[in-house]
Amino acid sequence: MQRILYAKPSITDAEVRAVHQAVSTGWGPDCYADLVRFEAEFAAYLGARHGLATSSATGALHLALAALGVGPGDEVIIADTNWIASVAPVCHLGATPVFVDILPDTWCLDPDRVEAAVTPRTRAIIAVHLYGNLCDMDRLEDIARRHGLWLVEDAAEALGSCWGTVHAGARGIVGVFSFHGTKVMTTGEGGMLVTSDADLYARASMLANHGRQPGDARQFWASALGFKYKMSNIQAALGRAQLARLPELLRRKREIFKTYARLLAAPRGAGLITMNPEPAGTTNSYWMPTVVFAPETGVTQAAVLERFARADIDGRSFFHPLSGQADFTPGHGNANSYSIAGRAVNLPSYHDMTDADMGRVAGVILDLCAGD
C-alpha cells in the first residue's frame, strides 16, 4: 500500500516546458516577460484591475497592510481559527490583532463578533476564506463601510471560490493569494496581491521593490523604506502554465470533495460529521475537504490523526486557535474556534489521488463514526 499524501501539486509537461523556456531565455531584456504576463493574466482571471506577484502570500499581505498604512496603535480584526501567516504581518507592522470567534458552519469570521470587536482603534478586518469556504462578505462589507474600516481578503485558500461570477479576493480593497506547493495552483513558493485600487497598487508595487518608484530615472534610489517581496520570472512561467490549467485543477478538487461527500453520506446524514458548506449561488473551491466530528461522537482530532498514521495516510490538523499560540493571549471567549479544532481534520486531496485512495481515507472516518 502506498502512502497517501495530503497535498501534492499537479505538474505536467506544459509546466516543465514553460520553466525550461523561462530559465533558458528569460534574462536580459526578457527578464520580466513571464512576470508581467502572469500578473495581467491572474488579475484578468480574477476580475481585478491589478496583480502584483510576490514571493509568498505572507509577503503580499504584509505589503497590502503596509500600503494601507496599518501600523502601531491600530487594531486588526481576524478570525481566531487561522494559520499564523495571516496574522504575522499585522504584528510585524506593530499593529494589534484582535482574534474573534468563527461560525460553526463556515469556520470563518462570525460577523456579530466582528461588529462587537470594533473599537475606535480598529483599522482593518482580514477576511480569510478558510479551506475554500467563503466568509459572509455582505455582512463584513456592511460593517467595514459603517465603521470606516479596510476590508482585506486573504484568499490564499479560496482561489476559484465565487459568489456567482465574483471571485473571492476581488471584493475587498485588496486580496492576497498563495502559490505554495500545497495550494490549488503552485509556483513552488509565491503569491499574488490583487486590487482594483490604482493608488494602493502603486504604493504596494513601490514597497515590494525596496521603495523604488517605477519609472524613477535615478538608479538605486529608494523613495521609501520598503521590502523585497518579488517573484522571479521563472516562478511566473510556472504560474502561467498552472493558471492555464486552473479550470481543470479546480474541477478535480471539486470532484475529490464530491467523492468524499458521497462516501461519507451516511454519517453526514446522521449528523455525526459536517463538511465544507456550499451555500446556494456560490462555488466552493474545496481546497481542503474537511471533516468536523459532532461533539456527541467523542472523536477527537488526535484520535483521527493517529488512525490515519496507522493506515499510512497523511492527516492534516485543522488549524489550532491562533490566540493560544506564540505569545498571544488565549481567547477563552472563542468557543467555536477552540471546540472545533479539537475534533476536525483536513482530508488528503491531491489531484492525482485515486478513488481507491479516497475509499481508504473514508474508511477510517466511517470506522470512527461507527465507534470502531
Ligand X SMILES: *Cc1c(COP(=O)(O)O)cnc(C)c1O
Give the footprint of ligand X on this chain (CB under 6 A). 56-58, 83, 85-86, 128, 154, 156-157, 178, 180, 191
The set of cell numbers assigned to 269 is 446524514
C-alpha cell at 73: 496603535
CB of 205 to ligand X, least distance (A): 18
CB of 76 to ligand X, least distance (A): 14
Q: How many CA atoms lie within 13 A of 327 on its CB side?
A: 2
**Which CB atom, from 185 or from 272, has the smaller least distance to ligand X?**
185
Nearer to ligand X, 128 or 304 (CB): 128
Please name which of 74, 339, 315, 53 lies closest in space to residue 178, comparing C-alpha atoms: 53
Question: Least distance to ligand X from the beta carbon of 346, Å?
Answer: 11
By beta-carbon proximity to ligand X, the closer residue of 92 and 146 is 92
The nearer residue to ligand X, 128 or 353, going by C-beta atoms, is 128
* Angle (deg, nearest 10), helices 246-263 and 233-244: 60
Determine if residue 234 is left, alpha or beta; phi over 0 gives left, psi from -120 to 50 gives alpha, anything else beta: alpha
Nearer to ligand X by Cβ, of 203 and 316: the residue is 316
User: C-alpha distances in angstroms, 172 versus 16, 31, 127, 140, 266?
Assistant: 34, 31, 9, 10, 38
- Cite the beta strand spans of 196-313 per DSSP E: 273-274, 282-283, 290-293
Distance CA 326, CA 159 (A): 28
Q: Which residue from 145, 179, 156, 187 is spatially nearest to 88, judged by alpha carbons?
A: 156
The CB-of-178 to ligand X minimum distance in angstroms stands at 3
Q: How far is the CB of 176 from ligand X (least distance, A)?
A: 7
- Is beta strand 96-100 parallel, antiparallel or unpaired with respect to 344-346? unpaired
| Least Cβ distance, residue 179 to ligand X (angstroms) | 7
Dihedral of CA 44/45/49/52: which sign? negative
Nearer to ligand X, 50 or 180 (CB): 180
Nearer to ligand X, 101 or 154 (CB): 154
Distance in Å, CB of 335 to ligand X, minimum = 22
Beta bridge partners of 128: 154
